[in-house]
Amino acid sequence: MMKRLHTLSLAAMLAAGALASPLAAAHAALKNSNPAANAVLEQAPREIVLTFNEKVEPAFSSIAVLEAGGKDIAAGKAQVDAANPLLMKLELPALAAGAYSVRWVAVGPDGHRRTGQFGFTVK
Ligand SMILES: [Cu+2]
């Protein structure tokens, strides 16, 4: 029992350290998004486009778009742009007015996994 607790707290410390480390800048990080974080849009976007600082591995990377109730409304899977592997895109169905949350997972060439999220609103 003690050993398990110890392992868990060590894992938590390592996770916190990884977030604070200057080396984190070398991992897949979100540089830009369309829609932008916290955007309030007159027109519903047709796709989500995320730009990363390094290429992302399609097999392990994903985008989910959740409506206010928490349901993932995306119809398909996110695609990494073949011509520009810094870009990951997700086509969207017609979005009703409301608040949406985008959650992404990006795995870079070194295999490290990064996650993030942001919101946008359709008026
Ligand atoms: Cu890395």
Torsion of CA 13, 14, 15, 18, to 10 degrees: 120
- Per-residue model confidence (pLDDT) at position 62: 97
The Cα 6–Cα 114 span in angstroms is 25
Could you report the per-residue pLDDT of 8-49, keeping only the tens digit for each? 555 555 555 555 545 555 688 999 999 999 999 999 999 999
CA distance 86 to 51: 6
Centre of ligand 1 to C-alpha 114, Å, is 9
What is the pLDDT at residue 19? 52
Q: How far is CA 86 from CA 59, 90, 95, 109, 113, in A?
A: 14, 14, 26, 11, 15
Percent pLDDT > 70 in the chain is 79
How many angstroms is it from 15 CA to the middle of ligand 1?
13
What is the rounded distance in angstroms from the CA atom of residue 79 to the CA atom of residue 60?
11
Ligand 1 centroid distance, CA of 5 (Å): 27
Which region holds residue 98: left if phi is over 0, alpha if psi is between -120 and 50, else beta? left
> Where do the domains of the chain lie, and which CATH numbers do they carry?
25-122 (2.60.40.1220)
Cα of 33 from ligand 1 centre, angstroms: 21
